[in-house]
Structure 1
């Protein structure tokens, strides 16, 4: 492998302080419907399985966040209001406040792409799987100006 196999941007993640206000303002500005805001139960027990987990800086964590997806042409803008617990989104908010946290590309061959990106000097910091897909973030802010995200949808590939 000598490159990431897809250069079509599919998602931009923006950390916000107030997801309801941010989502409402996007809807108002672009004349789109108010998106559904997903709010995980902060008191629900979290279990990790081989098909559903969140690994952040080497530890299994809940990594809960309120989120809303806005489909803006071919790109999804994902608004995230993180809970005050270990997660890449909360770390970003603590360090920078609100702002663009990540850009994501869809790939085939999730694990080999992780190995490739790490071989280029960008360590994996976050990885999650949720049954129908998986995603990862790399420590790339210092060289790319943003966290690089890769996702694979559907059945896990080699």
Structure 2
């Protein structure tokens, strides 16, 4: 592998202070339908099968955040209001306040792409599996000015 296979940006993640207010503002500003705000359950129950998980900086975590997706042409704008607990979104908020946290591209060959990006000096800090896909974030701010995200859609094949 000599490059990431896809250079079509599919998602931008923005950490916000108040998701209801941010979603309303985006919807009003762009004349779009108010997105559904997803709120995770208060109690985290790990998946005993291991088919879904969230790994962050070496440990399994709940990684709960409120989120809402706005479809803006071919790009999804994902608004994220993190809880005050271990997660990449809360870490970003604590260090930087609100703002653009990540940009994501869809790839095939998830693990091969992780190895490729890590080989370019951007270590993996977070990855998760959610049944119909998987995603990853890399410590790429020094090189790219933003967290790089890669996702692969579909059931896991290996």
Give the TM-score band, short-chain normalised.
Answer: over 0.9
> In the TM superposition, what is the alpha-carbon distance from 1:62 to its structure 2 partner?
0.2
> In the TM superposition, what is the alpha-carbon distance from 1:14 to its structure 2 partner?
0.1
Give 1:90's aligned residue: 90
- How many residue pairs match? The answer is 158
Deviates more, 1:34-43 or 1:104-113: 34-43
Q: Does residue 1:72 correspond to 2:72, yes or no? A: yes
CA distance in 1, matches of 2:43, 2:51: 22
Q: Deviations over 1:92-141 (max 9, x none)?
A: 00000100000000000000000000011100000000000000000001
Unaligned runs of 5+ in 1: none
CA distance in 2, matches of 1:48, 1:64: 18
TM, length-normalised to structure 1: 0.97
Superposed CA RMSD in Å reads 1.1
Give 1:116's aligned residue: 116
> In the TM superposition, what is the alpha-carbon distance from 1:157 to its structure 2 partner?
4.8
Give 2:41's aligned residue: 41
Q: Does residue 1:153 correspond to 2:117, yes or no? A: no
Q: Does residue 1:63 correspond to 2:51, yes or no? A: no
Unaligned runs of 5+ in 2: none
CA contact (8 A) 1:110 1:157 kept: no
Give 1:107's aligned residue: 107
5 Å matches for 1:111-150? 111-150=111-150
CA distance in 2, matches of 1:9, 1:48: 33
**SS of aligned partner of 1:85:** coil
CA contact (8 A) 1:48 1:60 kept: no
CA distance in 2, matches of 1:157, 1:106: 16
CA contact (8 A) 1:110 1:156 kept: no
TM, length-normalised to structure 2: 0.97
CA contact (8 A) 1:12 1:102 kept: yes
